[in-house]
Amino acid sequence: MANEAKKPAQEVGKFQAIISHCKEYGFIFPSSEIYDGLQAVYDYGQMGSELKKNIKDYWWKSMTQLHDNIVGIDAAIFMHPTTWKASGHVDNFNDPMIDNKDSKKRYRVDHLIEGHAELLKADGKEKEAEELLAAMDALLAKDDFAGLKQLIEDNKMVCAISGTCNWTDIRQFNLMFSTEFGSTEASEIPPAGGGGANKVYLRPETAQGIFVNFLNVQKTGRMKVPFGIAQIGKAFRNEIVARQFIFRMREFEQMEMQFFIRPGTQKEWYEFWKAERLKWHRSLGIPAEKYRYHDHIKLAHYADAACDIEFDFPMGFKELEGIHSRTDFDLRSHQEYSKKKQQYFDNDIDPATGKPYGNYIPFVIETSIGLDRMFLAVLSQAYEEQDLSTPERPDSRVVLKLPASLAPIKLAVLPLTKKDGLPEVAERIMSDCRPHFRCFYEEKDSIGKRYRRMDALGTPFCVTVDHQTLQDDTVTIRYRDTMEQERIPIEKIKELVMNAIG
């Protein structure tokens, strides 16, 4: 990843301010806060859960409703343990680590040993290098950490920084959280199919729920390639360093879509979804310069092309969404492990041969966006501290310029005073609008104070009922972003808000 210039202190301050704002106005709370919190876990509050849900709905609708060839599913978080063998998560993401006690530098054990093997080769000791790597593979396969440490010490492998051979014991870094399946602990009952048979994982990505249901959906939905399956759901990953608020959490939510295509067409579909996804982001009205692509050079084990859509967060440009060309890796792997064919029969005529394309394992283009990251992107883009001071007196406001379609509350209904029959009129407006979108009624405090409170929550519209309303059935509508207001008939309110929220 390209190195970013450090954000100025002002931006760091803005990030802090956003975090505080989130807590103070009921968007996001630290998990289990009364017990000092749980590292890298957060709860969404009364406002945050609305905003989050609106982002979800916006994505879901644009993916499924607006694409005839994409359907949604909601797969379970628990999956058969073999799923994660097939996906490569068990083998590829369980990295034994070792620390040098002098330099405090941490290494992946395999990287350390492979590095040493390279040195041997450079010395012309090809045979020794091969033997070393073979010994490592054998020990890794057995999870023999003591043996691996012995191997490192026997070969006098030293830390590049400290130059010493003073190592800690080897520890395992587990990407996935695991738990016990069944009501009895594993130790009390004999494992059904070998050791650890009762161990299940909390899924580290939602994608596998889609892959294992590929044929279910294709057949029951009579889907024809190319088609997509979308899913929104929780995923869980142990993070080495989990920080930066909701940007990197241990429990997070993904919005993924796997698009199944004819082999050989992956390049064009990859480009298609790359462009399509950026279009989606821009449709929210966020400026284009806040986004950029970042192509991956080093690819994950399942991909033949990958890029991120990065967003200019308060702490710099960071990954928001990934678009990956996953080849047929996942379906092919599931076919091998499950012994169930994961093929699709394509009846379309191949112009090259004049015959149907026939049976094949589809290739896959994945779009995967972090819902929590999207939340943070939307919020940090919307957050603004404004200085409204006049020569007479200082004044300021905090406003969330959220897209109206995403705002937790769409309309505030405010009687100018709480007597003279104004609340009764306001209540009528509430009853009229409540079924259609989220409204908020407030009669306490001065009108200005109420406007500012709504600004802080990102409410795009406030209507105020005053004495003139009693005469001519009009109200003042006040716009959040411009703070301008105008007079409109009561019967126009609903229509105006509905148009704005799409």
Partner RNA sequence: GCGGAAGUAGCUCACCUGGUAGAGCGACAGCUUCCCAAGCUGUAGGUAGCGGGUUCGAGUCCCGUCUUCCGCUCCA
- State the residues that interact with RNA by CB under 7 A: 1, 6, 12, 15-16, 20, 23-24, 30, 36-37, 39-40, 93, 99, 104-106, 108, 111, 175, 204, 237-241, 243-245, 300, 315, 388, 393-397, 416-418, 420, 444-449, 451-453, 464-468, 475-476, 478, 483-485
Specify the residue, 311 or 357, whose C-beta has the smaller distance to RNA.
311
Q: Which two tokens stand for residue 244?
A: 């930066």
| Closer residue to RNA in complex, CB, 54/476 | 476
Comparing CB distances to RNA, the nearer of 278 and 490 is: 490
CA distances from 267 to 124, 270, 299, 306 (A): 42, 5, 15, 11
Strand partners, 286: none
CB of 143 to RNA, least distance (A): 19
> How many other CB atoms sit within 10 Å of the CB of residue 236?
17
> Which of 110, 122, 342 is closest to 217 using CA atoms?
342
Minimum CB distance to RNA, residue 135 (Å): 22
Identity (one letter) of the amino acid at 500?
Answer: A
Q: Distance (Å, rounded) from C-alpha 363 to C-alpha 324?
A: 11
Give the orientation angle of helix 422-433 with respect to helix 493-501, to 10 degrees. 40
Residue 49 near residue 28, CB atoms below 8 Å: no
DSSP label of 63: I
- CB-nearer residue toward RNA: 105 or 341: 105
- Which is closer to RNA, CB of 71 or CB of 113? 113
- Considering the complex, what minimum distance in angstroms separates the CB of residue 231 from RNA? 18
CB-nearer residue toward RNA: 2 or 352? 2
Instruction: State in angstroms the smallest separation of the CB of 87 from RNA.
Output: 12
Instruction: Say if strands 411-415 and 461-465 run parallel, antiparallel, or are unpaired.
Output: parallel
CB of 194 to RNA, least distance (A): 27
User: Shortest Cβ distance from residue 252 to RNA (Å)?
Assistant: 10
Angstrom distance (rounded) from CA 457 to CA 244: 22
Contact 308, 319 (CB under 8 A): yes
User: 327: left (phi > 0), else alpha (psi -120 to 50), else beta?
Assistant: left
- Structure-token match 């990505």, residue found: 205
CB of 395: closest distance to RNA in angstroms?
Answer: 4
Of 438, 495, 429, nearest in space to 463 by CA: 429
Q: Which is nearer to RNA, 248 or 342 (CB)?
A: 248
Tokens, residue 35: 């017990």
Of 201 and 245, the one with the shorter C-beta distance to RNA is 245
Among 322, 321, 329, which residue's Cα sits nearest to residue 304?
A: 329
Tokens for 308, please give them.
């991120």
Q: How far is the CB of 206 from RNA (least distance, A)?
A: 13
